[in-house]
Amino acid sequence: MLRERRASRRVSQLELALRAGTTQRHVSFIESGRSAPGREMVIRLTESLGLPLRERNELLLTAGYAPAYPQTPLDGRALAPARDALEHILTGHLPYPAIIVDRHGDLVAANTAQRILLDGCARWLLEPPANAFRLALHPEGMAPRIANFAEWARHVLDGIAAELARNPDDRLAALHAELSGYVPAARPQPGHLGFAVPLRFSSPRGELSLITTIMSFATAVDVTLSELKLEAFLPADAFTASVLSDDHAAGAARDRGLGAGLP
């Protein structure tokens, strides 16, 4: 398992040994089964390879040790401070959309502004556990409203492929294969900007343009928390900013009216 993960990251035995503070000979002996690593060494090697916490636990179990990193349910008491922080970020990002997804892209939470993105999506796609990648690329999801679908969809698929290269996962690989079938083949056009691809989609008030940023808990020591990603959408122009602000204000007014028992 160690050899497979080292090779997939294109790290030599010598480089791994230097990172982990041991010798190439010791790494070689571990990989060949001639030496049994101690618990601390397993942790140092997995940290040095940058493995996700879930995989670090798997290697510890394989070596005969108990997992070092807890996997707490997101609604568990221990993660209450993290939930509060995430809720604060989601609310603070209004009037712009923001969502939280897990390692497979399943929606964990979202702020109210995301409704402008999901408007018109098939009801079955929105049933829990709704998947953000599928919502974006499925023909019954956001796809018909995305003006630059082929370009933006390739950007999404490339991001999933990059994650799979770092951390292979059967379910994510199956999802990537499914989504690839929804995306037409496309060659980069003149002026192609690589990963700097805005999301351009239609709305009742005209075409909107959004750019995204992705955040994570980089120093998390809980498996659940380490696998969460918060994707925040930002307006790419003044018109989009104005529409999102107006939509949020109208939604807030509707919510107040419902709360007061008004039609």
CA distance 34 to 239: 65
Residue 177 domain flag:
yes
**127 and 193, same structural domain?**
yes
Residue 23 domain flag:
yes
Q: Mark residue 64 as left, alpha or beta (left: phi above 0; alpha: psi -120 to 50; beta: remaining).
A: left
CA distance 10 to 150: 31
Report the pLDDT value the prediction gives residue 142, as an integer from 0 to 100.
Answer: 96
CA distance 143 to 151: 12
Q: Which position has the higher pLDDT, 187 or 8?
A: 8
Domain with 50, as residue range(s), is 2-62
**142 and 13, same structural domain?**
no
**237 and 166, same structural domain?**
yes
**52 and 108, same structural domain?**
no
Do 43 and 56 meet the contact criterion of CB atoms below 8 Å apart? yes
Report the pLDDT value the prediction gives residue 196, as an integer from 0 to 100.
Answer: 57
- Give the CATH number for residue 10: 1.10.260.40
Do 45 and 20 meet the contact criterion of CB atoms below 8 Å apart? yes
**236 and 114, same structural domain?**
yes
Report the pLDDT value the prediction gives residue 88, as an integer from 0 to 100.
Answer: 95
For residues 15-21, give the mean pLDDT.
96
Residue 158 domain flag:
yes
- Give the CATH number for residue 235: 3.30.450.180
**54 and 95, same structural domain?**
no
Domain-terminating residue out of 33, 62, 91? 62
Report the pLDDT value the prediction gives residue 124, as an integer from 0 to 100.
Answer: 96
**50 and 163, same structural domain?**
no
Report the pLDDT value the prediction gives residue 261, as an integer from 0 to 100.
Answer: 45
Q: Please give the helix or strand (H or E) that residue 202 lies within, else none.
A: strand 199-203
**82 and 57, same structural domain?**
no
Residue 210 vs residues 45, 157, 163, 226: alpha-carbon distances, Å: 40, 18, 22, 26
**Confidence band, pLDDT 50/70/90 cuts, at residue 254:** confident
Query: CA 142: distance to chain centroid?
Result: 18
For residues 155-171, give the mean pLDDT.
89
**Confidence band, pLDDT 50/70/90 cuts, at residue 263:** very low
**237 and 144, same structural domain?**
yes
Hey, what amino acid is at 196?
Answer: A
For residues 189-201, give the mean pLDDT.
68
Of the listed ranges 29-33, 68-72, 148-152, the one predicted with least confidence: 148-152
C-alpha dihedral over 35, 36, 39, 40, to 10 degrees? -10
pLDDT of 61 over the 90 cut: yes
Residue 166 domain flag:
yes
Residue 210 domain flag:
yes
Residue 19 vs residues 14, 67, 76, 148, 219: alpha-carbon distances, Å: 9, 22, 35, 43, 18
Residue 69 domain flag:
no
The count of structural domains within the chain is 2
